[in-house]
Structure 1
Amino acid sequence: MKAVAMPTVSRVAVCGGTHGNELAGVYLVRERLKRRADGTEPVSVVTVMSNPRAVQLCVRYVETDLNRCFTRATLSAPVSETSPYEMIRSQELNALLGPKGSAQAVDLLCDLHNTTANTGLCLITYSDCDWICLHICKHLQARTNTSCAGKAMHKSMEIGPQPHSVVRSVIFSAMQEGVQLMMDWICQFNSGGFSTTNPCRNLFAVCVFMNIDYPRDSETHVITAAVHPNLQDRDFCLLHPGDPMFLSFSGETLRYKGKEALYPFFINEGAYYEKGIALSLARKRRVEIPSVRSETLR
């Protein structure tokens, strides 16, 4: 497979605090903001505290989930003083880092998140043909215990388990390492370090198939079961038909009724109770990605 020439990645955004109680990203951004650019970095990095009001209150969001406010409809909607804070903030961020989809937008945006689920270091990218993001996933997979989930050069870095409103040093360090490895890859790519690399045919990725809600009472819609102990903390471990999935509060084991084995992740994520999601199920796939080189190199 012929190497694909791509533009250098010269403008990068590192964002934390999109959810104000996911503290590894919050503290990593604070540490980065203490530094002063000396003009010698080969990459221009913008470091942003995405939702400062939520960070100040140590809550996920103030009025609405900022992570759901970056649709084109929301970004183009008129706002006023009575508009939800996160809606206003999303348009401020779009002006700072975008506009979304324009030639003026940053080349790569890395959004830092924590999860209460046992995902380890998980990279979420939103395209299966975004070669830069997928090569970064490959780079991190080779050097850390990293999972890659795919659904624009935008990537979320999810690391867990970490309770909300708590920072754990091991999670902070893993996030810090992940960001540094990403920067290392970008610098090497920009300098021509990958101009002769082989294509990758063995990138492990999972693609979201469906979300599963908790069992609920048919009348009150109150949750009637918790994630089964055999499933809890087994993110990205294969779930087979008939395996225990939930344990009802009356003691009954409820089993996975699907017809194919799938990979669960974001198992029992604390922030997803309000969204009616107990876990997500995904299919595993091998992604073949071409080698890449900076198009400035001849």
Structure 2
Amino acid sequence: MEVEEVVCLPKLTRVAVCGGTHGNELSGVYLVRELLKAQQKREEEEPMTVMMVLSNPRAMLQCRRYIDTDLNRCFTHAILNGPESDMAPYEMIRSRELNAMLGPKGSPEAVDFVCDLHNTTANMGLCLIAYSDSDWICLHIFRYLQRQMPDTPVRYIHFDVSHKESYSLDSVGKHGFAIEIGPQAHGVVRSNVYTAMKLGVQHMLDWIRSFNSGATFEGGCVEVFTMVKHIDYPRDKETRHITAAIHPQLQDRDFCLLHPEDPLFQTFSGETLRYKGREPLYPFFINECAYYEKGIALSLARKRCVMIPAVRVQTEQEQQQANEQGFASEEEEED
């Protein structure tokens, strides 16, 4: 009988749960506030440090997505390491504060895991959005959430940035993802959406605690949706105003396969515009309110199976060996 190979990974001792990166996405705002209160009441200590962060306090006070610019696009190295100025947009200044708190991004000092909480107006259920399809920590947490939340659609969206840099808050950690859950209108909180987010965060932290304690998690296949492209609304060539809305047959059908010639938009004069792609793809973020300004009516993804290995935490001896190998590699590069 063949024994499954186990990948050994470093312990996740510092974890950050962030809410309010967009100040009008209220499930994360209220959940982090609630977790902060619970954390203050907790007397026992645990080896894992969990930081609760309210990311964009000024936008939260005004119940706006952002004050000057989208904070969740401000975590590139160019912005984080650029020249400092009191005249810079507020969110750029705040991104550097968060990078100092949770990072620096890409450094050994960065927190081990960042979970950033978001809401969408689209009918997407609970989605984990990550930049990697080979981060075994993120993918194992995803599978654990699927198993622990059988009544909630849980999906993994992979934003492939192999040719460009990641830009969102969760990219500051060594591992991380955004939890995106909807449908929920911006500026309101729905109890069922809030509860699903709360359960997702609780199960995520439970998995990390089990992993840190030495549990082994078996490998297997998980379904991943890799983003292929965005589609904008039809627009008037002169005014750039949109001329159509999402077709009624597509609205609220996130992750339902969209075939060539399926209805895509309905113009304001009543004409049906059809999908002209060459292959069936899975739509998501359908008619997301916040994406009108970004020129995105929906995004399209391919679904595929990703095989994940069994994982467990490294022993102290394995960690020491890994560190020694890392130092040796650094010395070779310097030579």
Of 155, 177, 189, the residue aligned with 1:167 is 189
Matched, 1:249 2:252: no
1:1-298 residue pairs with structure 2 within 5 A? 1-35=4-38, 36=40, 37-144=42-149, 145-151=153-159, 152-194=174-216, 197-201=217-221, 203-296=222-315
CA contact (8 A) 2:266 2:272 kept: yes
CA contact (8 A) 1:12 1:109 kept: yes
Partner deviation per Cα, 1:33-72 (whole Å, 9 max, x = no partner): 1131534233210000000000000000000000000000
Q: How many positions carry a matched residue from both structures?
A: 295
- The percent identity for this pair of structures is 63
Question: Residue type matched to 2:52 in 1?
Answer: T
CA contact (8 A) 2:122 2:252 kept: yes
Question: Residue type matched to 1:22 in 2?
Answer: E
- The 4+ residue runs of structure 1 with deviation greater than 3 A are none
**Whole-angstrom distance in 1 between the partners of 2:301 and 2:190:** 28
**Whole-angstrom distance in 2 between the partners of 1:69 and 1:133:** 22
**Whole-angstrom distance in 1 between the partners of 2:88 and 2:297:** 30
Instruction: Using structure 1 for the length normalisation, give the TM-score.
Output: 0.97
Segments of structure 2 that go 5 or more residues without pairing to the other structure are 160-173, 318-335
Which structure dedicates a bigger proportion of its chain to helix? 2
Segments of structure 1 that go 5 or more residues without pairing to the other structure are none
**Whole-angstrom distance in 1 between the partners of 2:83 and 2:315:** 40
Going from structure 1 to structure 2, the CA distance change for 1:39 and 1:80 (only over 3 Å counts) comes to farther
Deviation of 1:198 after TM superposition, in Å, equals 2.8
Partner deviation per Cα, 1:207-261 (whole Å, 9 max, x = no partner): 0000000001122111000000110001111101111010000000001011100
Question: Residue type matched to 1:256 in 2?
Answer: Y
Question: Residue type matched to 1:61 in 2?
Answer: Y
